[in-house]
Chain A
Amino acid sequence: MIKLIFRFREMLLVIIIAILLAVFSTRAPGFAKPGNLANIFNDSSILIILALGQMTVILTKSIDLSVAANVAFTGMIVGMLNATYPDVPLPAIILVALFIGAILGAINGLFVWKLNIPSIVVTLGTLTIYRGMAFVLSGGAWVNAHQMTEPFLQAPRHLFLGLPVLGWAAIIIVTVMYLVMSRTFLGRAIYASGGNPTAAVYAGIDVGRTRFFAFVISGTLAGLCGYLWVSRYAVAYVDIAAGFELDSVAACVIGGISTLGGIGSVAGAVLGALFLGVIKNALPVINISPFSQMAISGAVIIAAVIFNARQERRRGRIILRDRGASEQIEVVV
């Protein structure tokens, strides 16, 4: 039943996105052409990847506010690496990005796992620290396009079947994450740890370790986005992706991932990110100011949260009935 609602809900998002596209194309002819749609998808790729990392963490009843700072720090490292050592091949640079991102994620995860500090506190701290490290590393200087090598800048732009490699990267990550979440022990442990941590412990799942791995996944994906961001915008500086952590959370919330953990799907996170991508791309086309854009995104997020809350209340009924029953039992005992 809940699953049906979810299917319905994800379908609902697809329909809403389709309606948006239709409305925008009446105002801006050509908006819904395949070429432009591929563009929108490509533009949303980084957000999609970050949202998937964020989803993994949120599913375990945690949150990762440091993803954007991770993008900035990793982006700065790979930018400077490329500028200083132009001979280092691109695959090595991408591996470095993944590795550094994973380390930053693991730091968050270790604090949450071993010291039992709430993730919102840990990542609020590391958010500042990681961006500060990017500043210390660069001394506040920018790495500009002319300092970077051709392959470094061009790799994500290569077209393959009409879609740039950046978009393909997102598609690959989506596929991998889908498999991880639905087909692996870790994926199941992530859902169980967020859905009912106590029951998960009793079922032999190490909840702390599962959260740790969720943060590592989130960090690794953020590291990848560090490279993708710097090469796409052909610049690395301390403030890149500022505020993007909130977009990644927003994409998850719009996509139906419960902030209480345990509920959500890869498809939801992707659709949530696409929804934000469509709005961001469409509003300037139909001459709506960036400030209205922000207000519209905000309104959509609140609407999504209300929708979520109503849904959880529906789900909560049985639990409440049980709680009532157990209270009465306690009275008797």
Chain B
Amino acid sequence: MTQTVALEQSPEMPLLEMRGISKSFPGVKALNNVDITLYPGKVTALIGENGAGKSTLVKILTGIYACDEGEILVDGNPTVFANAQDAIDAGVTAIHQETVLFDELSVAENIFLGHAPKSRFGLVNWKAVNARALALLHSLESNIDPRIRLKDLSIAQRHLVAIARALSVDARIVIMDEPTAALSRKEVDDLFQIINRLKTNGKAILFISHKFDEVYEIADHYAVFRDGKAVGSGELAEVGQDEIVKLMVGRSVEHAFPKVDIALGETVFAVESYTHPTEFRDISFELRKGEILGIYGLVGAGRSELCQSLFGVTKPTGGKVRLNGKEIAIGSPGEAISAGIVYVPEERGRHGAVLQLPIYQNISLPSLTRTSRSGFLRAAEEFALARKYAERFDLRAAALSVPVGTLSGGNQQKVVIGKWLATQPNILILDEPTKGIDIGSKAAVHAFISELAGEGLSIIMVSSELPEIMGMSDRVLVMREGLSAGIYERETLSAETLVRAATGNASKS
């Protein structure tokens, strides 16, 4: 990075300024009066937890959302980004985590899709398209053949094509949303070389990443968001990692969700060196009766994949699972349910209910092996089961025989939770139990989780929200990139330790 440092110039006119930006969604203030400034030839790192408002900012910057308040200045001139085209015209381009390109089209077609050079008759001038694509790729010191199809490229090469596309529309502000998530170290190095080249060309770059080592390697400035607010910004060289972590998590992470203390019983569930071919490796933990085990990590750390595998949706390649001391192998969700292990998926709408079927049939669905006799259903038992759980959750419906699709979202959730509890599980795996729920309902869900633990259920709770993890868990398993990054007892929990473990700079601090 030494050559770039030499090229840095004295403070100059910002290329883009966002001032006092606010954006609300029903029930949530996603961005609250944030400022951010991008300078030409500089990389600004945007840092924040999941839910801090980074994605919303990117969507406002690319014209997908309009902000409620605040203004955007390009070259000092106020500019309105009413739609995506306005943003492109202003020179803003975003390169997303999974680059939005077309597999079956050629590299050149991908670069010039929508603005291909035309011939006199209004037809695409393929010669010019290929020649200009080649020139662009050369300027990035790449020798990708513009005529080959995108699907034959590696992920790093695809990023390069995305960057070439950004340059082809003469972008001056390039947003990179976690561009290194799927890259190997070598590919990251290549990407950073390209970023340095963009810097020397005077582009302003907004670099979003969870990885501190990369941020320190490539960025000049930083901006930290927390809960929709900009909580700090400045020159990266002047702050240490510890300070940034503190800014990220804030001191607000007290135990906001008072967990009911429950005397823990014996170990009921033990997982040893549990391994999946692609998603996670060598995960071990134990779970006691009445215990809540939190699983924390960044999105993509393999938490949901681990839980789905424990539930039999995918098959592990190694490791042992012991239930009440006996080794078991779970081959399918059906077997998991019979063993008393139940998984409440994150997307309860999509994975949870069969909307066309009546309420009572949805509630009884995972329990059918219990309520049916030699393949025949017993309607009376199904109704009894449904009535019991509908009452417990105060389900509002005209009748138990109406389809779930006719219920409100909240009542659909109750049906989905009810159907899992109706199986009378011993081990309950909850994936992001409060995702997308307003604060008031969150408290109710937390109280309910405590109540279940009090009844002797053992609970595994995956969550991306630190306060929830810290408030609810007896112990926390932190996962990073498919590996266990440590198990922390409730007494020793601190926001900083968890975030460090999850982002991978535990060893450095």
Chain A interface residues (CB < 8 Å from chain B): 1-3, 183-188, 191-192, 195-196, 198-206, 262-263, 315, 318-319, 321-323, 325-326, 328-333
Complex contact B406–A1 (CB within 8 A): yes
> Which chain B residues numbered 342 to 359 have a C-beta less than 8 Å away from chain A?
343, 345, 347, 349-358
What is the bound-complex CA distance between A199 and B355, given in angstroms? Answer: 10
**How far is the CB of A160 from the nearest CB of chain B, in Å?**
29
Complex contact B55–A331 (CB within 8 A): yes
What is the bound-complex CA distance between A232 and B25, given in angstroms? Answer: 67
Once A185-B377, A191-B354 are accepted as A-B contacts, the answer to whether A203 and B333 lie under 8 Å apart by CB is yes
Q: Please pick, from B59, B351, B405, the residue contacting A198 in the complex, using a CB distance under 8 A.
A: B351
> Which chain B residues numbered 374 to 421 have a C-beta less than 8 Å away from chain A?
375-377, 398, 401-403, 405-409, 412, 419
Encoded as 1 (CB less than 8 Å from any A CB) or 0, chain B from 421 to 435 comes to 000000000000001
What is the bound-complex CA distance between A332 and B227, given in angstroms? Answer: 9
Once A185-B376, A332-B53 are accepted as A-B contacts, the answer to whether A196 and B355 lie under 8 Å apart by CB is yes
Q: Please pick, from A184, A200, A322, A329, the residue contacting B377 in the complex, using a CB distance under 8 A.
A: A184
What is the bound-complex CA distance between A201 and B350, given in angstroms? Answer: 12
Q: Which 7 A-B pairs have the closest CB atoms?
A: A204-B334, A329-B436, A195-B354, A203-B366, A203-B365, A196-B354, A328-B25
Which of A2, A187, A203 has the most chain B CB atoms closer than 10 A to its own CB? A203
Complex contact B25–A192 (CB within 8 A): no
| A184 / chain B contacts, CB cutoff of 8 Å | 372, 375-377
**How far is the CB of B218 from the nearest CB of chain A, in Å?**
25
What is the bound-complex CA distance between A186 and B372, given in angstroms? Answer: 11
| A188 / chain B contacts, CB cutoff of 8 Å | 361, 365, 368, 377
B93: CB under 8 A from chain A?
no
Complex contact A326–B402 (CB within 8 A): no
Complex contact A192–B376 (CB within 8 A): no
Which of A191, A206, A263, A333 has the most chain B CB atoms closer than 10 A to its own CB? A333
Complex contact A206–B334 (CB within 8 A): yes
Complex contact A332–B402 (CB within 8 A): no
Number of interface residues, chain B, beta carbon within 8 A: 57
**How far is the CB of B411 from the nearest CB of chain A, in Å?**
10
Complex contact B419–A203 (CB within 8 A): yes
Given contacts A184-B372, A202-B313, A328-B25, 7 further A-B contacts (CB under 8 A): A2-B403, A185-B369, A195-B356, A199-B365, A203-B365, A315-B405, A325-B409
| A323 / chain B contacts, CB cutoff of 8 Å | 349
Q: Please pick, from A3, A198, A333, the residue contacting B50 in the complex, using a CB distance under 8 A.
A: A333
**How far is the CB of B306 from the nearest CB of chain A, in Å?**
16
| A2 / chain B contacts, CB cutoff of 8 Å | 356, 402-403, 405-406
Complex contact B55–A318 (CB within 8 A): no
Complex contact B332–A331 (CB within 8 A): no
B486: CB under 8 A from chain A?
no
Encoded as 1 (CB less than 8 Å from any A CB) or 0, chain B from 317 to 351 comes to 00000000000000011111110000101010111
| B377 / chain A contacts, CB cutoff of 8 Å | 183-185, 187-188
Complex contact B333–A202 (CB within 8 A): yes
Encoded as 1 (CB less than 8 Å from any A CB) or 0, chain B from 182 to 221 comes to 0000000000000000000000000000000000000000
Complex contact B357–A326 (CB within 8 A): no
What is the bound-complex CA distance between A294 and B489, given in angstroms? Answer: 74
What is the bound-complex CA distance between A1 and B356, given in angstroms? Answer: 11
**How far is the CB of B389 from the nearest CB of chain A, in Å?**
14
A-B contact pairs, 26 of them (CB 8 A): A2-B402, A2-B405, A3-B358, A3-B401, A183-B376, A184-B372, A184-B376, A192-B354, A199-B352, A199-B365, A202-B311, A202-B351, A204-B334, A205-B365, A262-B354, A318-B406, A325-B26, A326-B349, A331-B25, A332-B28, A332-B51, A332-B55, A332-B56, A333-B50, A333-B55, A333-B464
**How far is the CB of B42 from the nearest CB of chain A, in Å?**
27
| B408 / chain A contacts, CB cutoff of 8 Å | 318
Closest A-chain residue to B49, C-beta based?
A333
| B366 / chain A contacts, CB cutoff of 8 Å | 202-204
What is the bound-complex CA distance between A253 and B28, given in angstroms? Answer: 44
| B333 / chain A contacts, CB cutoff of 8 Å | 201-204
What is the bound-complex CA distance between A262 and B362, given in angstroms? Answer: 13
**How far is the CB of A213 from the nearest CB of chain B, in Å?**
11
| B336 / chain A contacts, CB cutoff of 8 Å | 204
What is the bound-complex CA distance between A196 and B347, given in angstroms? Answer: 13
Q: Please pick, from A183, A191, A198, A206, the residue contacting B350 in the complex, using a CB distance under 8 A.
A: A198
What is the bound-complex CA distance between A185 and B59, given in angstroms? Answer: 47
What is the bound-complex CA distance between A273 and B28, given in angstroms? Answer: 53
What is the bound-complex CA distance between A157 and B343, given in angstroms? Answer: 56
Encoded as 1 (CB less than 8 Å from any A CB) or 0, chain B from 33 to 71 comes to 000000000000000001101011001000001000000
Q: Please pick, from B30, B334, B353, B376, the residue contacting A196 in the complex, using a CB distance under 8 A.
A: B353
| A333 / chain B contacts, CB cutoff of 8 Å | 50-51, 55, 299, 435, 464
What is the bound-complex CA distance between A250 and B358, given in angstroms? Answer: 27
| B405 / chain A contacts, CB cutoff of 8 Å | 2, 315, 318-319
What is the bound-complex CA distance between A297 and B307, given in angstroms? Answer: 51
Q: Please pick, from B28, B368, B406, B409, the residue contacting A185 in the complex, using a CB distance under 8 A.
A: B368
**How far is the CB of B502 from the nearest CB of chain A, in Å?**
15
Closest A-chain residue to B465, C-beta based?
A333
Complex contact B354–A199 (CB within 8 A): yes
What is the bound-complex CA distance between A186 and B354, given in angstroms? Answer: 16
Complex contact A202–B376 (CB within 8 A): no
| A321 / chain B contacts, CB cutoff of 8 Å | 409
**How far is the CB of A29 from the nearest CB of chain B, in Å?**
44
Encoded as 1 (CB less than 8 Å from any A CB) or 0, chain B from 285 to 314 comes to 000000000000001000000000001010
What is the bound-complex CA distance between A323 and B436, given in angstroms? Answer: 12
What is the bound-complex CA distance between A319 and B357, given in angstroms? Answer: 14
Complex contact A206–B59 (CB within 8 A): no
**How far is the CB of B225 from the nearest CB of chain A, in Å?**
12
Complex contact A1–B403 (CB within 8 A): yes
**How far is the CB of B307 from the nearest CB of chain A, in Å?**
11
Which of B338, B343, B377, B412 has the most chain A CB atoms closer than 10 A to its own CB? B377
Q: Please pick, from A322, A325, A331, the residue contacting B30 in the complex, using a CB distance under 8 A.
A: A331
Complex contact B436–A204 (CB within 8 A): no
| A332 / chain B contacts, CB cutoff of 8 Å | 25, 28, 30, 51, 53, 55-56
| A200 / chain B contacts, CB cutoff of 8 Å | 354, 365
Complex contact B51–A3 (CB within 8 A): no
Complex contact A331–B351 (CB within 8 A): no
**How far is the CB of A95 from the nearest CB of chain B, in Å?**
22
| A330 / chain B contacts, CB cutoff of 8 Å | 55
Complex contact A1–B409 (CB within 8 A): no
**How far is the CB of A178 from the nearest CB of chain B, in Å?**
13
**How far is the CB of B454 from the nearest CB of chain A, in Å?**
26
